[in-house]
């Protein structure tokens, strides 16, 4: 299913996080320096983007999704996964992940993202009208715009402004 334009900002951030997961899974993760480098990158990714991404989902995406009884268990599951992932990010910040932990983190994050894309986003698109999705999109974009200086991936507003200015 084609992604609704109002969910594209989150999908773009998902793509960036998936790229991190692929890079971790391809890395050797054999030396302490390499392990520390990856954990620093994970911390930076969380600090600059993921924490805002989670907030946007938890405040603007999950509540309207919960209005549909068939999506409630999925939203509950995704919230549990957010807590688990926050724990992994905290452990990376403290330098506590070994190579197996880094790979488990990458697999957990990748699985979570695919669940959001394939089940939640598609489920919402099937059940919600254009106006409801537009409201969600505006709220998400506002949240991400407020922190656009910190985010790794530019927000829709920033991309549009750059396009209009010819940058």
Cα–Cα distance for residue pair 51/151, rounded to 1 Å: 10
The answer to whether residue 166 sits within a structural domain is no
Residue 155: its pLDDT value, please? 46
pTM of the predicted structure, to 2 decimals: 0.87
The answer to whether residue 1 sits within a structural domain is no
The answer to whether residue 164 sits within a structural domain is no
State pLDDT tens for residues 29-67.
989 999 999 999 999 999 999 999 999 999 999 999 999
Residue 39: its pLDDT value, please? 97
Q: How many domains does the chain have?
A: 1
Task: Determine contact, residues 39/47, Cβ cutoff 8 Å.
Answer: no
Residue 148: its pLDDT value, please? 57
Q: Determine the Cα angle at 55 with ends 51 and 57, to 5°.
A: 120
The answer to whether residue 46 sits within a structural domain is yes
Task: Determine contact, residues 49/56, Cβ cutoff 8 Å.
Answer: no
Residue 138: its pLDDT value, please? 95
The answer to whether residue 162 sits within a structural domain is no
The answer to whether residue 122 sits within a structural domain is yes
Q: Determine the structural domain holding residue 114 and report its residue range.
A: 8-24+35-152
The answer to whether residue 147 sits within a structural domain is yes
Cα–Cα distance for residue pair 67/127, rounded to 1 Å: 10
The answer to whether residue 141 sits within a structural domain is yes
Per-residue pLDDT tens digits of the chain, which is 167 residues long: 799 999 999 999 999 999 999 999 999 998 999 999 999 999 999 999 999 999 999 999 999 999 999 999 999 999 999 999 999 999 999 999 999 999 999 999 999 999 999 999 999 999 999 999 999 999 999 888 877 554 454 445 544 665 677 65
């Amino acid at each position: 299913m084609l992604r609704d334009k109002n969910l594209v900002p989150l999908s773009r951030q998902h793509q960036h996080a998936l790229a991190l997961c692929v890079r971790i899974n391809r890395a050797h993760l054999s030396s302490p320096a390499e392990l520390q480098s990856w954990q620093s990158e994970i911390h930076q990714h969380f600090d600059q983007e993921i924490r805002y991404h989670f907030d946007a989902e938890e405040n603007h995406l999950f509540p309207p999704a919960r209005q549909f009884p068939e999506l409630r268990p999925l939203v509950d599951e995704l919230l549990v996964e957010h807590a688990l992932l926050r724990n992994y990010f905290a452990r990376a910040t403290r330098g506590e992940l070994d190579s197996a932990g880094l790979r488990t983190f990458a697999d957990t994050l990748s699985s979570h993202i695919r669940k959001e894309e394939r089940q939640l986003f598609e489920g919402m698109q099937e059940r919600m009208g254009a106006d409801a999705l537009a409201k969600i999109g505006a709220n998400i974009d506002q949240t991400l715009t407020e922190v656009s200086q910190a985010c790794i991936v530019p927000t829709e507003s920033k991309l549009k402004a750059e396009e209009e200015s010819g940058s």
